[in-house]
Structure 1
Amino acid sequence: MMNTNELKNKLIDQIKASTDNVLLEELYNYLVQDNSTREVYQLSEKQNLAIEEARAQYKRGEFLTDEQSNKEIEEWLGK
């Protein structure tokens, strides 16, 4: 997997080499829209409390392993 700088450089190279105006316009529109519509999601007080409780449960060892949760799901589904 490429790191961010490598990926940016490869994209820049591809953009410079492209002669497809439609593709370049679409790519530009996507990037402008993507950057302008990103906003930080704000959690509600209820969501923050649920996260705090989950972290406390984890610290107390009150959690299931992946294997345990899969076993419970299979039991719920009657498998």
Structure 2
Amino acid sequence: MSEASEGISAPATYAEELVELTNEARGTEGLEPLKISECAESAALGREALVDRELEHAPLKPVLVACEADSAAENPS
């Protein structure tokens, strides 16, 4: 593992932890919890090799089309 990615959980574990913490924060604000899209998760895990590189915004259109979605939120990968 590179120096930049030390301390980072496996991508799937990190995603689960991130959604859990986000939903806790949303709950305190009275907002509905986020739901994980298996389709979008699969696309994201396919980009896990970028963990060792600088984060950048990836094109979302292919994921939106593949997952039959109209919109998406943040996409750092």
Q: TM-score, normalised by structure 2?
A: 0.25
Structure with larger RCO (C-alpha < 8 A, sep 6+): 2
- Larger fraction in helix: 1
Larger Rg: 1
Q: TM-score, normalised by structure 1?
A: 0.24
